[in-house]
Amino acid sequence: MNYSDVSPPPVPTPEEQRDALSKGLGRARLWAEQGVLTMVPLREACLQDLRYDRMCEAPRGDWLWEVINAAGFRNEIRVPLLHALYELSAPENARQLCKLAQHYAASGDAAFRDLLYQIVSQKPLAADYDFLGESELLALEGERGFLCAAKSRGVQLKQIAWDWPEESLLREAGELIEETRIRELLSSTSDPDLNRFFKSWQEQLRQKAKRKQQKQSHSKKLQCKISEEISVETVIEAAQGEDNCSWFRGWGTQAKPTDLNTVLQRLKFSEEPAVLTNLVKVFSNQALPEFDSRLIDLCQHPNPELQRRAWFALANNSHPQIHEFACQQLKENQPPFVFRLFIRNYEPGDENRLLAALSLPEDACESHSVLSDLIEVLKENPTADCSSLTRVIYRFTPCEICRYKAVQLLHDRSRIPDWMANECRFDSYAEPARSHLYKTKR
């Protein structure tokens, strides 16, 4: 695959626009300002939450609102967005839709304001999404928005116990409204649902104080208690049982070198795949006490789980045989884990070898894994020329956090091209990128 030019094209195709919007690339915002971003890809990106990792990447409603306004498509996006909010059939898109609704409402569009009140009051989606619209209504309406959300929660507290969503609502409200004012609002009302919410809150505060005292007392007792040490014999015996031995990883990081060597000796001569898989787990986050090529052999074992575990364990080690094996695998099979072997086994010029061999998988998760490993190769080896490979990572990773790491690396080594420095200011992950660029300049 040709990765020679990853800079933004002046006139993007619809597919290039979709790709930039799905990744949150700043070039989408620049295209909007230049009048070359078309409405259909932007509408699709607004109605579908396209983030790669919704657990780690922040919702993009704010970023999309900036793109909408830069492109001049506020009216064109409005009706499809209203329809999506009325239907609210896909929970995974709902947070983004609510954030965009907040922006439309803040600009004076009463229909979106009314919809947010309706979503918060009626909670149309499953219990896992009963927080929808609360943050947006708080930011939009302040005290009135808080009372609406608290009343709705009060209704639920007839049937369910106080939990983290109620705590989250109070925490967010506390950032906008002082706690003393929240108490005033809740204690001065005659609304039964708000009263229920307030009484539940006060009870939780009392229980928290009680638990804190008990925890402090318990901690003192724990400090006097010496935990039992797990012997290497116990580990060897457990490896031959039916347990998945997930605790082996933690044991391995704390084990004595002599105990690790005992496990390694057993690893050399065991043949049963299940036992080997368990023993390799000891070295999941720990180098071998002394390198042994048995681990390379296990990377080519027919058992897929054992093979995967062996690759991860091998990457924790540094040895000329590992570099030789990694280069050979680049030419032959190129398994997805091969790139991580270069993190601790880099040699000058490997960055060119890696770029020439790179062929990204179609699967986004596999592609992310490969590019994450390449970032670590460059980061852990400061003498490596990061200029070409990091640009490819920046352009093709589906993860905005990895993209920020690429920007960080290029900038710190004075290799960032002007076009990237310009467009990353408008990235969906722009705030950390801007902060890093600014701090380094100073």
pLDDT in tens, 335-375: 889 999 999 999 999 999 999 999 999 999 999 999 999 99
Residue 38 has pLDDT above 90, yes or no: yes
Residue 376 contacts residue 340 (beta carbons within 8 Å): yes
Residue range 188-200: mean pLDDT, rounded? 96
- Confidence (pLDDT) at 334: 78
* Tokens (6 digits) for 175: 């950032």
Residue 431 has pLDDT above 60, yes or no: yes
H helix runs in 224-272, sequence order? 232-239, 248-254, 257-269
Residue 411 has pLDDT above 90, yes or no: yes
Distance, in Å, from the CA atom of 374 to the CA atom of 358, rounded to the nearest integer, reads 10
- Residue 14 burial (CB count, 10 A): 12
Residue 347 contacts residue 323 (beta carbons within 8 Å): yes
- Confidence (pLDDT) at 228: 44
Our CA dihedral for 268, 270, 272, 277, rounded to 10 degrees, sits at: -50
- Confidence (pLDDT) at 438: 47
Residue range 84-109: mean pLDDT, rounded? 95
- Residue 274 burial (CB count, 10 A): 17
Q: What distance lies between CA 212 and its chain's CA centroid? A: 31
- Confidence (pLDDT) at 224: 39
- Confidence (pLDDT) at 433: 53
Mind listing the pLDDT tens digit for each residue in 249-289? 999 998 999 999 999 999 999 999 999 999 999 999 999 99
Q: What pTM was estimated for this model as a whole?
A: 0.87
Amino acid code (one letter) for 144? R
pLDDT band of 186, cuts 50, 70, 90: very high
Mind listing the pLDDT tens digit for each residue in 70-89? 999 999 999 999 999 999 88
- Confidence (pLDDT) at 82: 97
- Confidence (pLDDT) at 173: 95
pLDDT band of 220, cuts 50, 70, 90: very low
- Confidence (pLDDT) at 435: 54
Mean pLDDT, the chain, as a whole number? Answer: 91
DSSP string, 347-377: -TTHHHHHHHH----SSHHHHHHHHHHHHHH
Residue 341: closest CA among 299, 306, 304, 305 = 299
Minimum mean pLDDT range among 138-152, 209-223, 264-278: 209-223
Distance, in Å, from the CA atom of 15 to the CA atom of 11, rounded to the nearest integer, reads 12
Residue range 138-159: mean pLDDT, rounded? 95
Percent of the chain scored above 90 by pLDDT?
83
SS3 call for 149: helix
* Tokens (6 digits) for 253: 């990081």
Residue 409 contacts residue 375 (beta carbons within 8 Å): yes
- Confidence (pLDDT) at 335: 84
- Confidence (pLDDT) at 432: 58
Residue 124 has pLDDT above 90, yes or no: no
